[in-house]
Structure 1
């Protein structure tokens, strides 16, 4: 949890694996770093989310997240997720491909123009705006409002960190997002539409109020924030690897390595989500043979599980030709990220176009990338690139 540990947690993960897949802390909580162990906890209905402690009344960001399916246990989790899944379908995601391709090409046009004048920041030019544009398109947010959501979504992600407190900026973001989406919900109720907000409002109203208006609001904002953050980190983490490995760029461009395989290895090697928490909610639970008393808290190191040597040989080597790459980066079991297919589609389109249109991209000497100082969400704040001219 130190700045150095957040910047480079992987040597610590190696040390954790030497202790075993499950380790007990003196306070009665557990650290889970093994792949099979983490997958078992995520899938076992005996483990769930800790009941949220009522935050300070001014902590609007935590109150908002606590009303979403992200922090819900059965039966509330299933009630919320099943209704959202009815309208957030694979078909709806697939239908977004033309919009994603248009957004990628527009952003790459801007990136090409920026790099023609010197180094440019990939995060600012592509990785941040792309998922915001796509999720806003999905939700039915007008293009004129897209830009305002990036800083608000970035600030609100602080509520996903484990500190239990949020800053004034995060709480202000929660209030501003709620103030935006509440009238949008009312508008879709009065004038139905086929975007995700309209579809959710229609499904909610047809289902006898199984989802409250406040829960609908919280989950819409969750989709915005989660859809933005994970994809941004996936894009930045993936490009950073390519800048260090020109051989991979060549292999991807010549289709020796399929882009989907590259994306899965990025998710394994440098997961956008590094940790999640769970709590034992039943008696008699065990993980990898270790007894877990009811009420015990567990920290699941997803980033470490994805580098478990018992699951992946030579786990600290980036190798997209591995067989059976199944990272836990989007979770597993009932809480698996509902937008994981959308994130993968955005990344596939972005890397395909990036490799085609900017073949001479490279890192900028003397300007190293800067990581965001977060524990749960791992990604870059800045990632400078340049276009080098061929001799």
Structure 2
């Protein structure tokens, strides 16, 4: 195996089906060539490293190489402080605890649960809107459903006015694209475009935070901007902006892909789609199996070793760059029986689709609920849905993998 293999993994030509490449990668569970990254592709080894404090997520610890196809810079020109998922303890732990106060237990234990009705209303409205589309013979599920649903949710959660939601589409796409380790894309140009988007988003959020400090509401920005006397204290304005930008990207882009990958998979498995139509509760195990089978986050590049670490008989030296191929670990036959089979009846789906350890997905409860509601309602209300292109066109991004468009057709829309 060589660098050519790693370049195939992120080559756009293989975006629609990277899984045969992952199978080949797993033959060498810890792969390293020349001065490139150490690439880990098997389940148990990835799981162990996600819980290992000797693996750093902080980009300031990276020593990147020009020959590293999975390790291009993530944006040194950032105008904002690092988001907490790119920090190590204790900074990570402090900022994550503060962010969690208005979002989940113990301070806000019912936040996500109480959104269920509002989320259901958004889903129903978007499906109703398909009736008014030009034709049910060609629906772009991404543009008409998968994108607007989670971006509406995250904007309402943060307290972004409805009229400004369209601006977030551009910022989200630009910043998500900057995560893509595509060797054919000029990293300098990508960093400049991402930095410009960060400045625009930062200025917008700064104004919104100032407004929330004067006139606080029930939204997350208002609560993050409030002065807090608890031991962790409050965030600075720049920390709030970074966190809000993170929630925009992590709370939107990944959920778009989860819903779209989910509907694509269900349309390829009509027996499961029919079961979901008859039993909406099946959405819970279906989403868990989707997170294993077609995870929206394929890999975690740009981690670094803070000490020598032995993994699978290979010593990863201190200072080395490490990339974890989560989607490969999810298809590891040493962990899952018939891993290439989509099976929501699996009894044990301990997947890596939402990460693991201290950096596990912050918004996991909300992402799960959004996907469950979206897929169950699409299954129930679309009459005879069918794919028009298979495979559909995919996004360029190798990290946040999902279709750019999902053209489908249906015979009608059942009433809500």
TM value normalised by structure 2: 0.86
Q: What SS class does the counterpart of residue 254 from structure 2 fall into?
A: helix
One of 392, 395, 398 as aligned partner of 1:375: 398
Q: Distance in 1 between matches of 2:300 and 2:79?
A: 18
Q: Which residue of 2 aligns with 1:13?
A: 22
* Pair 272,66 (structure 1): closer, same or farther in 2 beyond 3 Å: farther
One of 175, 183, 191 as aligned partner of 2:215: 191
Q: Distance in 2 between matches of 1:189 and 1:47?
A: 38
Q: Which residue of 2 aligns with 1:306?
A: 330
The 8 Å contact of residues 43 and 329 in structure 2, kept in 1 or not, is answered as yes
Determine if the alignment matches structure 1 residue 99 to structure 2 residue 114.
no
CA deviation profile, 1:55-74 (whole Å, cap 9, x unmatched): xxxx9885156521121122
The 8 Å contact of residues 333 and 339 in structure 2, kept in 1 or not, is answered as yes
Q: Distance in 2 between matches of 1:260 and 1:61?
A: 39
Determine if the alignment matches structure 1 residue 40 to structure 2 residue 48.
yes
Q: Which residue of 2 aligns with 1:71?
A: 86
* Pair 255,203 (structure 1): closer, same or farther in 2 beyond 3 Å: farther
Q: CA deviation at 1:161?
A: 2.5
Q: Distance in 2 between matches of 1:129 and 1:36?
A: 36
Q: Distance in 2 between matches of 1:256 and 1:110?
A: 22
Which runs of structure 2 are paired with 1:1-391 in the superposition (5 Å)? 1-19=10-28, 21-27=29-35, 29-52=37-60, 63-64=78-79, 67-89=82-104, 90-114=109-133, 116-162=135-181, 165=188, 166=190, 168-202=192-226, 210-255=234-279, 258-277=282-301, 278-283=303-308, 285-364=309-388, 369-388=392-411
Q: What SS class does the counterpart of residue 286 from structure 1 fall into?
A: strand
* Pair 274,64 (structure 1): closer, same or farther in 2 beyond 3 Å: farther
Q: Which moved more, 1:88-97 or 1:348-357?
A: 88-97
Q: Distance in 1 between matches of 2:311 and 2:281?
A: 36
Q: What SS class does the counterpart of residue 383 from structure 2 fall into?
A: coil
Q: Distance in 1 between matches of 2:280 and 2:94?
A: 44
Q: Distance in 1 between matches of 2:142 and 2:157?
A: 21
The 8 Å contact of residues 65 and 71 in structure 1, kept in 2 or not, is answered as no
Q: Which moved more, 1:207-216 or 1:78-87?
A: 207-216
CA deviation profile, 1:33-91 (whole Å, cap 9, x unmatched): 1111111111111111243379xxxx988515652112112221112111111222152
Q: Which moved more, 1:381-390 or 1:126-135?
A: 381-390
- Name structure 1 gaps, 5 residues minimum: none
Q: CA deviation at 1:117?
A: 4.8
CA deviation profile, 1:88-123 (whole Å, cap 9, x unmatched): 215211121112111101110112332745311000
Q: Distance in 1 between matches of 2:324 and 2:75?
A: 26
* Pair 208,266 (structure 1): closer, same or farther in 2 beyond 3 Å: closer
Q: CA deviation at 1:368?
A: 5.2
Q: Distance in 2 between matches of 1:115 and 1:252?
A: 27
TM value normalised by structure 1: 0.91
Instruction: Give the number of aligned pairs.
Output: 384
Q: Which residue of 1 aligns with 2:4?
A: none
CA deviation profile, 1:203-261 (whole Å, cap 9, x unmatched): 55766865322111111111011111010000110111111121111121223981111
The 8 Å contact of residues 130 and 136 in structure 2, kept in 1 or not, is answered as no
Q: Distance in 2 between matches of 1:17 and 1:367?
A: 27
* Pair 62,257 (structure 1): closer, same or farther in 2 beyond 3 Å: farther
